[in-house]
Amino acid sequence: MSEAATKICIYPGCERPAVPAHALGGPQPSFCDLEEHNALTAHQERQRRAGAPSGQGADPSSEQGG
Ligand SMILES: [Zn+2]
């Protein structure tokens, strides 16, 4: 039994185990089997949790050239 330590999905807040490496080889994915958990959404979630200002929404100090 030389099973490596279970890899956990690196999506912020996700504690699901990452999907196993492909049978034909290749690196093991860093995300679980959830379709919405991938490098892009994980990055966006980190930005959101970091309190980054969202590009959308009403801006209190909107500039009006005029
Ligand atoms: Zn996940």
pLDDT digits over 20-60, tens only?
998 899 988 999 999 999 999 999 999 999 996 655 655 56
Of 35 and 3, which is predicted with more confidence? 35
pTM of the model: 0.65
Contact between 9 and 16 under an 8 Å Cβ cutoff? The reply is yes
Measure 26 CA to ligand 1 centroid, in angstroms.
Answer: 19
Buried-state track 7-46, b at ≥16 Cβ within 10 A, e below 16: bebebbebeeebbeeeeeeeeebbbbeeeebeeeebeebe
Measure 50 CA to ligand 1 centroid, in angstroms.
Answer: 18
- pLDDT-derived band at 14 (thresholds 50, 70, 90) equals very high
pLDDT > 60? residue 62: no
CA 31 – CA 36 distance, rounded (Å): 10
Give residue 52's identity as a one-letter amino acid code. Answer: A
**Average pLDDT of the residues in 12-19:** 96
Q: What is the pLDDT, as a whole number, of residue 43?
A: 97
Measure 51 CA to ligand 1 centroid, in angstroms.
Answer: 21
